[in-house]
Amino acid sequence: MTVSTARPSSAQTSTGAPLPAGAPQRRVRQVGRILTTLLILAVIVAAFLGPYVWMFASGLKTQASIFTDVVPISWRTFIPVHATIDNVTELFADRGIGRALLNSALVAVGQVLGALAVCCPAAYALTRIKFPGRNVIFAFILATFMLPSEALAVPLFQLVGTLGLQDTLVGVGIPWIANAFGLFLLRQAFEGVPHELDEAARLDGAGHLRIFWSVILPNIRADLVTFVLTIFLFSWNGFLWPLIAIQTPEKQLVQVAIAQSVSPGELPNWGLSFAGASIATIPLLVLFVFLQRLLIPGLARSGLK
C-alpha cells in the first residue's frame, strides 16, 4: 500500500490502459487509494493541528468554558464562541509576560548577533585560509558538536558564576555564541562559493578581510538567513539553561515563565497557561510558516550532530 501511494503507478496505468477488462478494478483501486489518502490526512490534521487550535482557542476562554467545551468534543472545543482577552490582559498586566518576552527577544537577538560575528570569520578561516593545524582545529570544534548541552548545565552554572555573569541576560546567551552547529552550517555555505571568485579578487589585490566581506558574504545571503533563524529558534525555545541561570523574576525568559505557571502539584489556571503558551509560540509559527523554506534545511542539518 505504502509503495503505491508513494509512487503513483505510471507503469501500471501504461500497461493497464489498453485492457478494458482491467478498468473497473483499477477504478476501485483508485477510489481506495483516494480514501486512504484522505484518512491519513484526517489523522494528521487531528493529531497535529487539533492540539494547536485547542490551545489557541482555550487561551481566549474562561476556565469554566474551557471545561464545558471539551466534553463532548464539538466545534465549540476549537472555536472560542464568547472570546475574551482577559487571560492575555492578566498575563501582561500582572504576570509580567511582556517583560519575559522582551528578555527572551534580547537574549535571542544578542545570541544571533554574537554567533554571526564569531562563526562567519571562523568559517572563512576554515575554508579559505591555508594554515598548519587547520584539521586539528576543525576536529577540536567538531568535538564540541557532540557534547549534549543539557549535560553541561551544572558546571556551566558554576563557571558563569565565577565570571560574575550569574543572573544576567548576558550570562544566559554568551555560552552558546561559539556554536559548532552554526559553524558547520556556514562552512558548508562557504564551500559552496566557487574558489575562482576569491582567486579573482586576490589577483585584484584584495586581502582576506575584503574577500570575506565583499566576495563571500554577499554570496551566501540565503544561508545567513537560515543561520539567523535557526539560532534565534534555539535561543527562544531554550529552557533548562535559562531556568538555572536566572534567579530574579524580572529577568526571567518567557519559556521559564510559562513552565512555572504549570508546575506539577499546583492547580493551574488553564486559560492563563494556554494563553501564555500561545503567546510564546505564535511569533515562531508566523516566522516558520512564511520562511520554512529557509528554516527547515537549517534544522534538518542541526540534527546532523
Residues 94-153 that bind another protein (CB under 8 A): 117-119, 121-122, 124-126, 129-132, 134, 137, 140-141, 144, 146-153
**Nearest distance in Å: CB 14, another protein:** 11
Q: Which of residues 174-193 bind another protein (CB under 8 A)?
A: 174-178, 180, 183
- Report how far residue 122's alpha carbon sits from residue 120's, in angstroms, rounded to the nearest whole number: 5
- Report how far residue 91's alpha carbon sits from residue 272's, in angstroms, rounded to the nearest whole number: 7
Task: Tell me if 140 sits within 8 A of 225, measured CB to CB.
Answer: no
Instruction: Please select the residue that binds another protein; options are 13, 158, 197, 222, rule is CB under 8 A.
Output: 158
Decide whether 89 or 158 has the Cβ nearer to another protein. 158
Decide whether 24 or 303 has the Cβ nearer to another protein. 303
**Nearest distance in Å: CB 231, another protein:** 13
**Nearest distance in Å: CB 303, another protein:** 4
Burial 263-300 (b: 16+ CB within 10 A, else e): eeeeeebbbbbbbbbbbbbeeeeebbeeeeebbebbee
Decide whether 212 or 251 has the Cβ nearer to another protein. 212
6 near another protein, rule: CB under 8 A: yes
Q: Which of residues 228-287 bind another protein (CB under 8 A)?
A: 233, 236-240, 243-244, 255-256, 258-259, 262-265, 268, 270, 273-274, 276-277, 280-281, 284-285
Instruction: Please select the residue that binds another protein; options are 208, 217, 224, 269, rule is CB under 8 A.
Output: 208
All three cell numbers of 139, joined, read 576536529
Task: Tell me if 153 sits within 8 A of 241, measured CB to CB.
Answer: yes
Q: Which of residues 38-97 bind another protein (CB under 8 A)?
A: 40-41, 44-45, 47-52, 54-55, 58, 67, 70-73, 77
**Nearest distance in Å: CB 57, another protein:** 11
Closest CA to 196 of 128, 121, 131, 122: 128
Decide whether 20 or 238 has the Cβ nearer to another protein. 238
Q: If binding means CB under 8 A, how many residues of this protein chain bind another protein? A: 111
CA-angle at 284, arms to 278 and 287, nearest 5°: 135
Residue 175 exposure: Cα atoms within 13 Å on the Cβ side? 25
**Nearest distance in Å: CB 150, another protein:** 4
217 near another protein, rule: CB under 8 A: no
Task: Tell me if 232 sits within 8 A of 108, measured CB to CB.
Answer: yes
Instruction: Please select the residue that binds another protein; options are 18, 24, 155, 164, rule is CB under 8 A.
Output: 155
Q: CA–CA distance from 99 to each of 93, 104, 173, 250, 255 (Å)? A: 10, 9, 17, 7, 12
Helix axis angle, 97-128 to 180-191, nearest 10°? 50
